[in-house]
Amino acid sequence: MDNNVPSVDQSDREVPINLRQSGPTPVEMLIDTRVRKSPYWELSMQQGCWRASIYNRMYHPRGYVPREDGGMMVEYQSLVNDVTLWNVAVERQIQVKGPDAEAFVNFVITRDATKIPVMRARYVILCNEAGGILNDPILLRVAIDEFWFSLSDTDLMLWLQGVNVGRKFDVTIQEIDVSPVQVQGPKSVDLISDLVGEEGRTLPSYGLMEAQVGGHDVIISQTGFTGEKGYEIYLKDSTKYAEDMWNAVLDAGVAHNLRVVAPSHHRRIAAGILSWGQDMDFETYPFQVNLSYQVPRKKEADYIGKAKLEEVREQIVAGTPPFKTQLVGLLVGGKPITDYAPDFWLVSATSGGDPVGYVTSPWYSPELEANIAMAHVPVEGSALGTEYWVQLPEPFADTPGEPVRAEVVEMPFRPSVNPNQRERLKMHGLDAAV
């Protein structure tokens, strides 16, 4: 075996996760016309954005406060203490509209679309026939015959259109000119009520409302990529009106100490919220990543992946899961991890042993005063309290070249202001949406 490729058992995958440890690389991102700029791109630049990644073939702002001024940890303080504005237009909006919209959506998601009321949203997953997770969007039902898929990082529109080539549901499937921003943090409720009135203050979790911000039509949801109180503002005709809406939020935010920041991965990790491409991908079963509740036991209608997922559940119950790793939460030693990890850091069962797993999403939690992480570890070693050793790079290791101790712990790492469905079901001892 190539010495650069660690010996983690990935024999259950067709395409193994790249576990080469390349570390930070001095590469400048090329900004050109092959990848789309969102309507808020220039506005993010005006707020000091200094780095970006690519998400859904769009440039995605990923840092505003310079490293020398505290970087992402300063942005985090604004999120947990005040209110923040995020450019998340990369969450492309795919509209499914027509007489068969509900039936089509019910066929492509695992949960029961018939139980989603109009002007409500749900966190959902879509799987392929092999049971692998294709996408985990927020699904908005904006009318009896219209749904919007607010995408995570895969081009799901092509999948949806491809499915319907053969199935021929009476629907249109297309991307629409709607671009979201997120308003997140404890003061978000006050900011939203300033913008749209008291209805915004009383909007329930995963509720939707129509409003105007900056004089233009929006849909607002009480959702977001954190465990904090938060909202998303979906601007219609965003190519035309991005500046008006964005500036209206900025102006209203002055009274609440608003800061424009990048998505807070440290807070979503603490809440146990997954990131597609980091924590899961096309070859990951929902059962591997704490999404068992997304595989209903009582949904009678057929959906893509249903037969395979039910088979996998039976194998799990029988004690023979068809996968090698399970996603767990880890408390990790070492120095504070205060920025994105450039690699999937390796996990061993002993301090000098061969790697058996890998960290997907690490960060430092100021509240816990410890590094927290999601990691894939062997299924048989996923019990709470199990000890592991993580090979951190030099900036974070206690001793360069020496692994640090880690322990499997409960997720979420700290309570959420807005508990997601998985958290709520777990409180009642349930593992599946019905």
For 56-70, the three-class secondary structure string (H helix, E strand, C coil) is: CCEEEEEECCCHHHC
Angle between helices 101-108 and 156-167 (to 10 degrees): 110
Angle between helices 188-196 and 238-253 (to 10 degrees): 120
Look-up of token digits 């990131």: 275
Distance of CA 176 to CAs 33, 94, 161, 236, Å?
A: 20, 6, 14, 8
Task: Say how far apart CA 295 and CA 203 lie, in whole Å.
Answer: 27
Task: Say how far apart CA 356 and CA 408 lie, in whole Å.
Answer: 14
Are 284 and 294 spatial neighbours (Cβ–Cβ below 8 Å)?
no
How many Cα atoms within 13 Å fall on the side-chain side of residue 387?
6
The pair phi, psi for residue 302, each rounded to 5°, is: -75, 150
**232 annotated ligand binder:** yes
Task: Say how far apart CA 292 and CA 285 lie, in whole Å.
Answer: 9
Residue 394: how many other CB atoms lie within 10 Å = 10
Nearest Cα residue to 337 out of 398, 290, 380, 427: 398
320's CB contacts (< 8 A; 6+ apart) are none
Look-up of token digits 């015959």: 145
Nearest Cα residue to 331 out of 293, 367, 288: 367
Token digits of residue 272? 């146990």
The pair phi, psi for residue 275, each rounded to 5°, is: -120, 115
Token digits of residue 142? 């904006």
Residue 53: how many other CB atoms lie within 10 Å = 15
Are 75 and 84 spatial neighbours (Cβ–Cβ below 8 Å)?
yes
| Annotated binding residues for substrate | 232
